[in-house]
Amino acid sequence: MKIGVLSLQGGFAEHMRQIESLGHEAIAIRNQCDLEDLSGIILPGGESTTIAKLLKVTGLMEPLKNKIKNGLPTFGTCAGMILLAKDIDGELSHLALMNIKIKRNAFGRQSASFRTFSTIKYIDKSIELVFIRAPYVEEVMGDVEILGKVEDKIVAVREGNIIATAFHPELTEDLSFMKYFIKLCTSFK
């Protein structure tokens, strides 16, 4: 299976390592032709405003948006979650594909980054969650399913073919969340 990882800025290498450790092919997505024949795509953490600008500069914004709208399984981590949100507290949206309202840097600055353990729906155990200048979901609308909360804040959601997390599962040794995403990719084939 070929899983794309948007590789314009941010923490894409860690996602690629996890995909490959599960025996799948990780494809670095840097231009429109890289979007062909994918089973899924990951929008990694990083700086969402910078990633959005690079999506426009590279001409990837609309083709990526169309692929996701047409059912490409998608996983957005932290900045990826912000890119996917239809409503970003006080800002313009980017891809605007998920019926969620996001609060950026909601858990605090870089110095307030933290790790915790929690259960996430569809994963059979408590997993380590890494938060770095993380957003959280202030509001879900429509058919968005809440997958997890930390400190009473929504930190993982799913809407159809799209999942998004405020935390970074790729920064742990635990492959449970990546396995969950791979399973989602196979269910949309």
The single residue of 14, 15, 170, 185 carrying the catalytic annotation is: 170
Whole-number pLDDT of residue 108 = 67
Specify the pLDDT at position 35. 95
Burial class (CB in 10 A: 0-12, 13-18, 19+), 70: exposed
φ/ψ of residue 38, rounded to 5: -95, 150
Q: Are 150 and 116 in contact (CB under 8 A)?
A: yes
DSSP letter string over 98-113? Answer: EEEEEETTTT-SGGG-
Structural element, H or E, at residue 115: strand 114-119
Q: Is 185 a residue of the active site? A: no
Return the pLDDT at 106.
76
Q: pLDDT of 123-164, one tens digit each?
A: 989 999 999 988 999 999 999 999 999 999 999 999 999 999
- Enter the tokens of residue 166: 């405020």
From 14, 15, 168, 185, the catalytic residue:
168
> What's the mean pLDDT in 118-125?
94
Show Cβ contacts of residue 34 under 8 Å, excluding neighbours closer than 6 positions. Answer: 4, 27, 28
**What is the C-alpha to C-alpha distance for residues 146 and 179, in angstroms, rounded to an integer?**
18
Please, which residues have CB within 8 angstroms of residue 115's CB and are 6 or more apart in sequence?
128, 129, 130, 131
Tell whether the model's pLDDT for residue 189 goes beyond 70. no
Given the residues 15, 78, 159, 185, the one annotated as active site: 78
- pLDDT tier at 91 (50, 70, 90 boundaries)? confident
**Mean pLDDT, range 56-68, rounded to an integer:** 96
Whether residue 47 is predicted with pLDDT greater than 80 in this model: the reply is: yes
Does residue 33 carry a catalytic annotation? no
For residue 77, what is the enclosing H or E element? strand 74-77
Question: In the annotation, is 24 catalytic?
Answer: no
User: Residues 95-118: pLDDT tens digits?
Assistant: 999 999 999 877 766 666 889 999
